[in-house]
Amino acid sequence: MMTSLHGSKREWQRRATGKQLMIWAGWLIGVAIFVYCWRLISDKTIWMFVEDAPRQAADLAERMVPPKWSYMEQLWQPVWDTLNIATLGTAMAIIIAVPIAFCAARNTTPSRVFVRPIALFIIVSSRSINSLIWALMLVTIIGPGVLAGVIAIGLRSVGFCAKLLYEAIEEIDPAQVEAITATGASGAQKLTYGIVPQILPAFAGISVFRWDINIRESTVLGLVGAGGIGLQLDASISTLAWTQVSLILLVILATVILSEWVSARIRHAII
């Protein structure tokens, strides 16, 4: 709390003058960066199209209603595929993530110098590449289809699951592990009786949370040919079948809301 002199009157000020100046300088730099970036984007934009956008949007909206409900018959299979991609992808991610998480956690890693950095690098690279890019890669490698989608979702989720899981492992209560060690338990026994019971609830929560995110992500994998409802979306948009597009969007909306509800219920039950 600072005061400053204004004429003869002392006034309360929230921060010291130096700190206040620093914050202003920070704002100035931030605004300058923003304006610069904005200029570059605006140079690349054809503003005529942007001005035209409201009319286009109205036109598009008009073409999208009413949704073509009869198209629903052809959508059940893609929706099922989407659910499978998300579920099997999550399952695959968990199977891979568990050993990586144990290697990355400070208290369980076999070697802090060699194994832990490798595990952390795997986690970061899996997390930094979007599932759509994983899918793009896998479609060129193993061909289009549901399998590419499952693997893409799986590889993308490994980093997320392993990161949360290893944080959970690092936060366990060491006294319990010590107690198990005192009974003369071997390494594997310590793991199954000392560590696993402590992280199991967190583990279940993470899996369900990731499943929910994966449902959302697997709806768009079809755009690059990796199966699921995105394939239909892509096909409908390229044939300008806007009434089908609106139905697909409604289906995606319903699926996402439903999965969010399910995951919230399950997590509520676990925790």
Partner 1 sequence: MSTSRHWKRPPFIKNPTLRWGLMVCVVIYLALAFGTMEINWTRTSEGIDRGKKFLGAFFPPDFTSRWESIYEGIVESLWMTVTSTVVGIALSIPVGLGAARNLSIKPVYYFCRGVLAVSRTFPEIILAIFFVKLFGFGPFAGFLALSIGTIGFYGKLLAEDIEDMDPVQAEAVKATGAGWLQWLNYAVQPQVMPRMIGLGMYRLDINFRESAVVGIVGGGGIGATLLTSFDRYEFDSAAAILLIIIGIVMLVEYSSGYIRQWVQ
Minimal distance in Å, beta carbon 97 to partner 1?
A: 18
In the list 72, 92, 98, 132, the residue contacting partner 1 (rule: CB under 8 A) is 132
Under a CB-based contact definition with an 8 Å cutoff, are residues 148 and 90 in contact?
Answer: no
Site for partner 1 in 198-217 (CB under 8 A): 200, 204, 216-217
Whole-angstrom distance, CA of residue 135 vs CA of residue 148: 6
Nearer to partner 1, 118 or 257 (CB): 257
Whole-angstrom distance, CA of residue 266 vs CA of residue 194: 25
In the list 68, 75, 84, 115, the residue contacting partner 1 (rule: CB under 8 A) is 84
In the list 20, 68, 98, 127, the residue contacting partner 1 (rule: CB under 8 A) is 127
Is residue 80 involved in binding partner 1 (CB under 8 A)? yes
Residue of 64, 58, 169, 67 whose CA lies nearest to 108: 169
Paired strand residues for 13: 2
Minimal distance in Å, beta carbon 255 to partner 1?
A: 10
Whole-angstrom distance, CA of residue 94 vs CA of residue 90: 6
In the list 114, 197, 258, 261, the residue contacting partner 1 (rule: CB under 8 A) is 197
Under a CB-based contact definition with an 8 Å cutoff, are residues 156 and 130 in contact?
Answer: yes
Quick check: helix, strand or coil at residue 4? strand
Residue 66 CA, chain-centre distance (Å), reads 32
Segments in 129-226 forming alpha helices (H) = 131-142, 146-170, 174-182, 187-189, 196-218
DSSP 109-124: -S-TTTHHHHHHHHHH
Under a CB-based contact definition with an 8 Å cutoff, are residues 112 and 145 in contact?
Answer: no
Residue pointed to by tokens 């009157």:
9
Nearer to partner 1, 101 or 149 (CB): 149
Give the pair of three-digit tokens for residue 54: 């409201």
Kindly indicate which of the ranges 1-9, 78-86, 98-106, 111-119 contains the residues binding partner 1, using the contact rule CB under 8 A.
78-86
Site for partner 1 in 142-171 (CB under 8 A): 142-143, 145-147
Site for partner 1 in 37-66 (CB under 8 A): 37-38, 40-42, 44-46, 49-50, 53, 56-57, 60
Minimal distance in Å, beta carbon 116 to partner 1?
A: 16
Is residue 92 involved in binding partner 1 (CB under 8 A)? no
Contact residues toward partner 1 (CB under 8 A) are: 14, 30, 33-34, 37-38, 40-42, 44-46, 49-50, 53, 56-57, 60, 77, 80-81, 84, 87-88, 124-125, 127-130, 132-133, 136-137, 140-143, 145-147, 192-193, 197, 200, 204, 216-217, 219-220, 223-224, 233, 237, 249, 252-253, 256-257
